[in-house]
Amino acid sequence: MPRGSEAKSVELRRLSLGALRGGTSALARYFQLLLTAVSPMLFTFCASTPPVVERDRFPLDPREDLAGPFPEGVSRGWSRLLAGDASGADAAFRGAASEAHSLAAEIGRVESLALLGREQEAWDLCRPLLGKGDATTPLLVACGEVRARDGDAATGYALYRKALARTGNRPALSERAEQLRGAACDGLSAQAQESASRKQWTDARKEIGQAIEIAPERTDLLVVAGDIEVAAGKTEQALSLYREALQRDPENATLKEKIGNLALESGSLDVAVMMFDELAKRDPSFSSRAEDARLAFRVANWPSAEREAARSARLTRAGAATLVWWMYPEVRDARVEGGVVASDVVSRRDSRALARALALGLLEADQETHRANPDSALTQPAAARLLLRLLIFMAPKSVSLPCPRVSQRVLRSATESIQAAQACGLLPESDNTAVSGVVFTKALDRIRLLAGPAKS
């Protein structure tokens, strides 16, 4: 005997013949059996939904990660999204959401609003949905896009990262997340620098710290962090950040210059010498900075009086005599038969250095008052005469100088003295009337170089 559908088919044929013969009860039985036979097929058709489309970039199918069945409006909204009709999709998703509570419809609305540029409305939908627990991949991606398109790349990147942690290999999603990572770091770095410009150090450190946490491999972020610490007056912290950055990028000349300058200011002179020497080997323009660093390193180990004179912004006449006495044993040991006696020099602690400078004509005393004015600033003309006279004293006539040799006659004119000193590279061109200790000390080093073999 036939079973299942075959039995029902046989019964339907038998009843249909009876119904045609006019039997009312047989006709009713026929329709009842017909409905029973086709109703499973009708139910299957109504309950089925189109397959979920696993896309690799925003927008994703809002039904992904969710179990059906879904309202018919979700399928219609998704079709319109794929067709580029964001307004129609929003209307379809909104209708589906109003008919029944559907997370897929809500996600679809977020995607539609993001594409329409209505980020605030979309984010207002995102916040409660994200707070309900385990968010789906499409929800995380959609809300990440909303934040990114509204200028908050850092939050957008964080949401994309969560989405990627849930899903498998999705190259386009990974590529978009990487784009947001770069934008997030750049944005946080700019915010940190802006906060630092307003002296909001806590905010600045927090923002640059977030950027470094997102992209710890980026050297430029460490440099910005160092710049912030410099602006905040935290030299040690800045140096530490700069040096960490230099370990990652050992050939970064800009970074070496930053470290060298900061090391000079902070007294880490060995570091400054190393940085500027390395820079000078590749770029001769850094030679003068290397010389400054080496000089600063030497001066740091001098006695206090000489050290203070060499570092002074406005060198005195007594300070100049002290530096000559310290740097030139030839001056200390020179024999003098007589000398000018200055009444304001005799009782000073630095009287020996001053007296020797006066006796050798390196400094002059007022002929009427017999005063050397040791505490007065060393002027440009006085500095020029002192340096040129020391050069004449130190350089044998057999030594060829890179500048015209001067005579005592030339030194009588202030203008000619300054010009001659500049020609020999002893004084830089300057509008300042006074001379700094650094300039004068470098000039004394220059004389040693020009004079060649020291005069015994």
- Are 65 and 167 in contact by the 8 Å Cβ rule? The answer is no
The beta-carbon contacts of 416-420 under 8 Å, at least 24 apart in sequence, are 417/381, 417/384, 417/385, 417/388, 418/380, 418/381, 418/384, 420/384, 420/388
Give the pLDDT score at 5: 42
- Are 365 and 340 in contact by the 8 Å Cβ rule? The answer is yes
- Domains of the chain (ranges; CATH) run 4-47 (no CATH), 72-168 (1.25.40.10), 304-396+404-451 (no CATH)
Give the pLDDT score at 51: 67
β-bridge mates for residue 377, sequence order: 316
Give the pLDDT score at 341: 74
List of residues 6+ apart from 129 with CB closer than 8 A: 103, 106, 107, 110, 135, 139, 143
Measured in whole angstroms, how far is the alpha carbon of residue 398 from the centre of its chain? 56
pLDDT, averaged in runs of 10, over the chain (456 residues): 42 44 47 43 40 82 92 95 96 89 94 97 96 91 97 96 90 95 96 97 97 95 97 95 95 95 92 95 93 92 95 96 96 80 87 93 88 94 95 87 77 86 92 92 94 58
Output the CA–CA distances (angstroms, integers) from residue 378 to 13, 328, 343, 349, in the order listed. Answer: 128, 19, 19, 19
Give the pLDDT score at 165: 93
Q: Is 426 exposed, middle or buried (0-12, 13-18, 19+ CB in 10 A)?
A: buried
- Are 338 and 356 in contact by the 8 Å Cβ rule? The answer is no
Give the pLDDT score at 367: 80
Measured in degrees and rounded to the nearest 5, phi and psi for residue 434 equal -100, 165
Measured in whole angstroms, how far is the alpha carbon of residue 225 from the centre of its chain? 6
DSSP 284: G
pTM, to two decimals: 0.69
